[in-house]
Amino acid sequence: MPCLDVASPFFTFDQLHNFPALTPPARLAVIGDPISHSKSPQMHNPALQACGIDAQYVRVQVPVGKVKEAFALFAAQGFLGVNITIPHKFEALDAVDVVDPLARQLGAVNTLAIRDGRLFGYNTDGPGFLRSVKEAFGVEVKDLRVLILGAGGGAGRAVAVQSVLAGCRHLLLANRTESKLSPLMAELRSLTQDAVDLQTCTLEHAAIASHLSEIDLIVNATSVGMKVEDAPLLPASSLESRHLVYDMVYRASGPTDLIQQATAAGARHADGMCLLLHQGAISFEHWFGGSAPLEAMRQGLLAAARSS
């Protein structure tokens, strides 16, 4: 039986063995652990309705080590697809039949499409980043000089790899632990024959400040900003109005410090909600083809944000 509200039902792994009959039938899901906070149903269910698809999207809590079994159960229950979130993106890579080349390159699967019982794994992190930058700022990542704060983490690596694959030729990789950047540098250089201006620095304010005049797009891929008390990532008054600021963090309680700094500088900005929207749209397209109903998804997400 659903444990939460009907608009976004929540199930446990054990319930996958004998999934309850819902109206509309459950055909899509997001898995993670924890998962009860996920806003994905509030984005995908309006999209399904807008397209007249007789299906609903649910949340399922799946423990570590159970992803492959969960995928088999989803397939047996007639599901069409699944989104995969923390901590399962790496386990999912080994739990599908066919890994999309980009997902292989990014080292993680966050979208499953089930077609004729076969499991196809995709990654929407990188493409979602490119699309959301284009929508938010009207420019292509390839034409920008990009600073990635937290490039040594999983999200930062995905942004860096996708940026180079998309043709970006100026990247500054910043990480609190700078030594984590060496393998990424080698990997990025192997992705293209073109000359790429790759630099690294720490997250020290002085180091970042010395580079900002040569940067167009600043991406926060660290987890800094999730908590209100987090220290500022950038030195005070270091942003200019020409900067584009992309904070992958979304904080329901209000704008992050980075977004507040961007606003104060008159700089354009986007946050993690924008990424979630475009990742969701790309998943939807893997499942159903064509273009996703972006406005229905956006309104669903905004409503979910207002009610959280």
Give, in order, the Cα–Cα distances in Å from 308 to each of 37, 254, 302, 304.
9, 11, 10, 6
Q: Who contacts 286 (Cβ-Cβ below 8 Å, separation ≥6)? A: 81, 111, 113, 120, 122, 124
Q: Which of 36, 177, 192, 308 binds ligand ATR (CB under 6 A)?
A: 177
The count of residues interacting with ligand ATR (CB under 6 A) is 15
- On the CB side of 63, how many CA atoms lie within 13 Å of its CA? 5
Q: Nearer to ligand ATR by C-beta: 21 or 186?
A: 186
Beta carbon of residue 226, minimum distance to ligand ATR (angstroms, whole number): 9
Whether 106 contacts 162, CB under 8 Å: yes
Closest to 86 in 3D by CA, of 125, 117, 139, 46? 125
Pick out residues in 248-287 that bind ligand ATR (CB under 6 A): none
- 222 contributes a contact to ligand ATR by CB under 6 A: yes
What is the enclosing helix (H) or strand (E) of 272? helix 272-288
Catalytic residues: 89
Residue 61 binds ligand ATR (CB under 6 A): no
Of the pair 80, 184, the CB lying nearest ligand ATR is at 184
Options 156, 225, 280, 293; binder of ligand ATR; rule CB under 6 A: 156
- The H-or-E segment that residue 27 falls in is strand 26-32
Side-chain half-sphere CA neighbours of 104 within 13 A:
7
Token pair, residue 44, equals 């995908």
Residue 160 binds to ligand ATR (criterion: CB under 6 A): no
For residue 17, the minimal CB distance to ligand ATR (Å) is: 30
- Taking CB under 6 A as the criterion, which residues in 111-150 touch ligand ATR? 150
C-beta of 205: minimal distance to ligand ATR in Å?
12
Q: Which of 142, 145, 169, 176 is in the footprint of ligand ATR by CB under 6 A?
A: 176
From the list 154-162, 163-171, 184-192, 249-257, the region that binds ligand ATR by CB under 6 A is: 154-162
| Tally of CB atoms within 10 A around 243 | 21
235 is a contact residue toward ligand ATR (CB under 6 A)? no
**Quick one: which of 243, 226, 269, 285 has its CA closest to 132?**
269
**17 three-state secondary structure:** helix
Nearer to ligand ATR, 115 or 176 (CB): 176
Residue nearest to ligand ATR (CB): 153
Q: Which of 248, 223, 292, 261 is nearest to 136 (CA)?
A: 248
Residues at the contact surface with ligand ATR, assessed by CB under 6 A: 150, 152-156, 175-177, 180, 203, 221-224
